Amino acid sequence: VSYPVISLVGRPNVGKSTLFNRLSNSRQALVSDFEGLTRDRQYATVQLNDETKCSIIDTGGLTNEDSLIDTGIHEQVLSALDESDVIFFIVSNKDGVTSLDLDISSQLRKLKKNIILVCNKAEGLNQVTAAEFFELGLGEPVLISAEHNQGISELIEITIPLLPQS
């Protein structure tokens, strides 16, 4: 059985693996404060609600550096994007919008995919203070804290209608 696919994309240390673990109720993806821990794609099958299952893919953090490892990560991410029905582009409230976020968002907008802008580490943030994320051109950010399980159910509610129905 193949399920709809959601990939988690963003620069290093925005919380992709933490969100992956939260959605999959696992500790499958390694999480730390060190950048660049995730190298290969991680997959998990997730039950989003009573009717909806999907596959989620955790990807390595995208950087500007063209080292061989980063090139490998870029290939992994492109491969994940290719098979995705929905892309979670994850940014960090702690850092605000970075030039790398702007680069990634402009690349993502070229894809004909459903993209959800996910603003992680957003404890105590509201839509007004999240306004700067609109400059990424991906609409209103969904505010979450993957670590503290805030905003996850809203994220799932927004995602389900975008998935192809089996």
- For 48-82, what is each residue's pLDDT tens digit? 988 899 999 888 777 776 544 455 556 777 777 88
Neighbouring C-beta atoms of residue 82, cutoff 10 Å = 11
State pTM to two decimals.
0.86
Alpha carbon separation from 36 to 7, 33, 62 (Å, rounded): 17, 9, 9
Mean pLDDT of the 99-103 span: 91
Mean pLDDT of the 94-111 span: 90
Domain covering 5-162 in this structure, CATH number: 3.40.50.300
Q: How is residue 64 written in tokens?
A: 């500007």
Neighbouring C-beta atoms of residue 154, cutoff 10 Å = 12
Q: Which helix (H) or strand (E) holds 6?
A: strand 5-9
Model confidence band, residue 7 (pLDDT cutoffs 50, 70, 90):
very high
Report the SS3 class of residue 49: coil
Task: Kindly report the average pLDDT of the chain as a whole number.
Answer: 84
